[in-house]
Amino acid sequence: MLTTLPAEALGAVIDAIGAPVFVVEVTEDGGFRFAALNHHLEALAGVSDADLRGRTPSETLPADLAGRLTARLQQCLTEARRLDYEGFIDTETGRRRLRVTLTPLVGGDGVIRRIMGTPLDITESYTLASQLEQERALFGELAELSGDWFWKTDETGRFVAFDLVLERDGVRNVGVLGMTRRDLLDTALPPEDMAAIDAAMADRRPFRDLVYPQVLPDGTRRIVRISGNPRFSVDGRFLGFVGTSSDITARHNWIKMQYARHKREALGRMAGGLAHELNNLLLPVVSLSRRARKRLAALPEPPDAILAMLDDITAAGRAARDVVGGVLTYSGGGMADQGPVVLSEVVARAVDTAAGLLTQSVRVERSIEPLQDLAAVTASDVSQVVINLMSNAADACGPGGTIWVSLAAEPAPSRADDSAPRAILRVRDNGPGLQTGVDERVFDPFFTTKPVGEGSGLGLSVVYGIARNWGGDVSVASTPGEGAVFEIRLPLLKTADADRETTQTPQTRTILS
């Protein structure tokens, strides 16, 4: 019917359509003339049916618009099918984006006589889509700058890939698709908030800033803080969770270190007070037992049994005094005057001394870097530290083990440019390593993992006290089965000793004890 209606009747028919519509005639020579357009299109384009009817696109439209429309009409005619395309027109209110559908109208003879066009104004939706794409790109940039990564699970709690957002590294890049949060739990460490995470996910409720230890399939271990929200479909069906994760390993370790340091300092103050009191009590025990023995020994017939008991009292008093001295060193109460020394020379001598005192048959590898800056320490303190650390390492690795002792300057990027230079004294062994949780107590006075009667528990606490007296830091790192590394960072003086600069050479030696 639309192929045979006169123009006036055709206009009335398409006016009843609730969308912009135009109809063009296909001329005998294959050209196109406007047959009619409805009032919706008149309002959209700002043209009238009277202006266009019976005229060609090139006679009524701007050249660029007429060219684009004619080309699309020709394509629709040639291919004899419905054609959809997007374009634009310039109106008094600005440029409008259109999605146009061209439909060929076939006459009773099977020939296309007219083509009906229905342009749909998609300006607003196109603008929104462009804005959404820009926001998505901005979100992607922010995600790349963020230290967090994103995760998503299905309704069973298993990790799934994002449809649109490329996750940074957690879900896809480390190969955990199909795994659950429990599969990533590092069972070698305390579970932290894992029970709370399980409860929130089971109850399908949001959770924020919960922490748990994670081990990835590639063996990477870290402490992560996660937040998550449940997802539901429009009909209320539970879809799973989506959330973010942050690697807080460094901060978590720093907080633990600060907590341990404050605990040791508080314990040190308490132990220092007790040690001073005990020291005052031991002084008369040792001195009076020695004086009593001296007087009894001067008798014509000295009582040997009593002399032996006095000797035992004196020996026990001296041993107790040594223990008290260790506590005082830990607490800082026994700090001696410290003068500048050439640290590399003092450490080298201390390693040689310690190697000769070891009771275990171990291999000692040493690498002493010549340092031009001096250290405000005493040779006796350095010897005490090295002996205690090497003895501890020898006990850990046992006969046939290896101890590595090194001294080097701290790399410049590890400290602020205006800070004093520091040296790193490191003692490492190839023993079984520390058990989980032991590293937090290893510097506590009287704490030991040795059997009863085989250790006082003061060796490492003395090391800690001396290092703190130097103004340095002491730390331990250990992986079960891979040994332990004790590291002391101590400040150096900025005044170089030019006379010694030419005489120091790197010292790398192997010592068998």
DSSP symbols for 442-498: TTSTT---SPTTS--S-HHHHHHHHHHHTT-EEEEEE-TTS-EEEEEEEE--S-B-H
C-beta of residue 338 within 8 angstroms of C-beta of residue 470: yes
pTM of the model: 0.40
- Show which of 205, 222, 253 is a domain's final residue: 253
What is the average per-residue pLDDT within 2-8? Answer: 82
State the CATH number of the domain containing residue 425: 3.30.565.10
- For residue 274, pLDDT beyond 70: no
pLDDT at 132 over 90: no
Does one domain contain both 440 and 495?
A: yes
Which among 71, 101, 127 is the end of a domain? 127
Same domain, yes or no: 155 and 205: yes
The interaxial angle of helices 379-397 and 459-469, nearest 10 deg, is 140
Judged against a pLDDT cut of 70, whether residue 268 lies above it is answered with no
Which amino acid, one-letter code, is at 170? G
Assigned domain for 508 exists: no
Asked which of 151-155, 229-233, 445-449 is least confident by mean pLDDT, the reply is 445-449
Rounded average pLDDT over 320-338: 57
> In the prediction, which pLDDT does 170 show?
38
Query: Whole domain around residue 189: which residue ranges?
Result: 144-253
200: left (phi over 0), alpha (psi -120 to 50) or beta: alpha
Mean pLDDT of 238-244: 92
- Asked if residue 185 belongs to a domain, the reply is yes
198 confidence band (pLDDT: 50, 70, 90): very high
Handedness of CA 130, 136, 137, 139 (dihedral sign): positive
Q: How far is CA 342 from the centre of its chain?
A: 39
Structural domain ending residue among the three candidates 210, 225, 253: 253
Q: What is the CA radius of gyration of the chain?
A: 43
The whole-number pLDDT of residue 27 equals: 93
Mean pLDDT of 199-216: 92
pLDDT at 166 over 50: no
**Structural domain includes residue 278:** no
Domains of the chain: total? 3
Q: What is the pLDDT of residue 290?
A: 83
Mean predicted lDDT score pLDDT of the chain: 81
Q: Distance (Å, rounded) from C-alpha 408 to C-alpha 421?
A: 11
The amino acid occupying position 46 is G
Higher pLDDT, 139 or 174: 139
Question: Does 229 lie in the same domain as 120?
Answer: no
Sequence-ordered list of residues with C-beta below 8 angstroms from that of 191, at least 6 positions apart, any chain: 185, 212, 213
Residue 137 falls within a domain, yes or no? Answer: no
CATH number, position 96: 3.30.450.20
The predicted pLDDT at position 332 comes to: 54
Q: Which range, 52-56, 255-259, 297-301, 418-422, has the best average confidence (pLDDT)?
A: 52-56
From the list 385, 355, 336, the residue with the least C-alpha distance to 490 is 385
Beta bridge partners of 428: 404, 485
**Which has the closest alpha carbon to 369: 426, 300, 440?**
426
CA–CA gap between residue 428 and residue 491 (Å, rounded): 21
